[in-house]
Amino acid sequence: MTPPTAPARTTVRPARPEDFAQWRALYRGYAEFYRVDQTEEAAALTWSWIQDPAHEVDALVAEAPDGRLVGLAHYRPFARPLSASTGCYLDDLFVAPDARGSGAADALLARLRETAAERGWSVVRWITADDNHRARTKYDRFATRTMWVTYDMAPQDA
């Protein structure tokens, strides 16, 4: 599978401290898309993880030529014991509604693929909602859908 190349008009780079306000607007849009109530405290904690070089969570942002951030990707390494390797887990990928179709998602996924190669990661993995048809069409151009079904189990109450 040959992925599309990243368009030149959108640049992708690591999130910087001065990106907070624009990142927050994008992350709010992501939470709203998935109908998740997200407090400012939770968003601030996530941002602190992104800004902490010792924390596993990292972020890329897609920047339009005018300097406006139009997309984000949060990712982290994860151990793959069966293959004795490390993979990359893409937790969140979001492009502002007015920037969809601009190539921002392509650029974010392409840069994440490059990052994974640079770091020697064996795979980039993510999940999406079954009914997220537009995103799934995009993802099918970059990756292979797996046969795995995802489960969530709540921790036992103490």
Give pTM, 2 decimals: 0.88
Q: What distances in angstroms separate CA 105 from CA 44, 71, 127, one per listed residue?
A: 24, 7, 15
**What is the structure's pLDDT at 148?**
87
Q: Among 3.40.630.30, 2.40.50.180, 3.90.110.10, 3.20.20.100, what is the CATH number of 11-142?
A: 3.40.630.30
Average pLDDT, the chain: 92
Residue 62 backbone dihedrals phi, psi, to 5 degrees = -100, 125
Confidence of residue 158 (pLDDT cuts 50, 70, 90): low
pLDDT digits (tens, 9 = 90+) for 113-147: 999 999 999 999 999 888 888 888 888 888 888 88
CA max distance for the chain: 52
102 within 8 A of 138, measured Cβ to Cβ: no
**What is the structure's pLDDT at 157?**
78
Confidence of residue 153 (pLDDT cuts 50, 70, 90): confident
Token pair, residue 15, equals: 């999130």
Is 2's pLDDT higher than 70?
A: no
